[in-house]
Amino acid sequence: MDPADRGQPEGAQPSRRWISLLLGSGVLASIASFLYPAIRYIIPPPLAESSSRSVVAAKVGDLKNNSGVVFKFGSEPGILVRLADGQYRAFTAVCTHLSCTVQYRADLREIWCPCHNGLYDLAGRNVSGPPPRPLQAYEVHIQGEDIVVSRSA
Ligand code: FES
């Protein structure tokens, strides 16, 4: 329909096109903002380290006796503990109760889950609180200056 037929000046047409363009691009942006997270959820990014069987958890000398550190092992946390006698132990740091990250308690000399006060001994056995199973143990090897933690075969 011709603008003159509607009683509008001809200069009004470009501004209507701009408004239509802005509304159209807003709708497209809204659709994209809904679709992008859904697509990212359906197609997760590749986990580069998830298949890794070993990782350098720390350097020799990083941990003093009777201490522990949480490290990244693939997509999950692990915990490396240096016992009072200098030996190393490593476990998954994922609590077997509800998957909180455990930590080493030097005062208790045990591995503790802060979420529900679960306790594991230094062999990874669940000894107190709600955890139903022991922590999965890892192998620890010293390679030069590296403390390498490996999943058991
Ligand atoms: S999640 Fe560890 S005790 Fe509940």
Mutate to test the pocket of ligand 1, among 79, 94, 96, 100 (most ligand atoms within 8 A of CB): 100
Confidence at residue 6, expressed as pLDDT on a 0 to 100 scale: 55
Domains of the chain by residue range: 1-45, 54-150
Atom of ligand 1 nearest to the CA of 98: 1
Cα 132 to middle of ligand 1, angstroms: 9
Alpha helix stretches (DSSP H) within the chain: 12-42
Confidence at residue 87, expressed as pLDDT on a 0 to 100 scale: 96
pLDDT digits (tens, 9 = 90+) for 24-55: 888 899 998 989 888 888 887 665 544 579 99
pTM of the full structure:
0.69
Taking alpha carbons only, the member of 83, 86, 119 closest to residue 103 is: 119
pLDDT digits (tens, 9 = 90+) for 44-101: 766 554 457 999 999 999 999 999 999 999 989 999 999 999 999 999 999 999 999 9
Indicate the class that CATH gives domain 54-150.
Answer: mainly beta
Cα 148 to middle of ligand 1, angstroms: 27
pLDDT digits (tens, 9 = 90+) for 113-153: 999 999 999 999 999 999 999 999 999 999 999 999 999 76
pLDDT digits (tens, 9 = 90+) for 99-113: 999 999 999 999 999
Cα 112 to middle of ligand 1, angstroms: 9
Under 8 Å between Cβ of 77 and 127: no
Bridge partners for 92 per DSSP: 78
Q: Which carries the bigger pLDDT value, residue 151 or residue 2?
A: 151
3-state secondary structure of 71: strand
CB distance 134 to ligand 1 below 6 Å: no
Q: Which carries the bigger pLDDT value, residue 138 or residue 7?
A: 138
Once rounded to an integer, what is the mean pLDDT over residues 2-10? 53
Taking alpha carbons only, the member of 86, 89, 74 closest to residue 124 is: 89
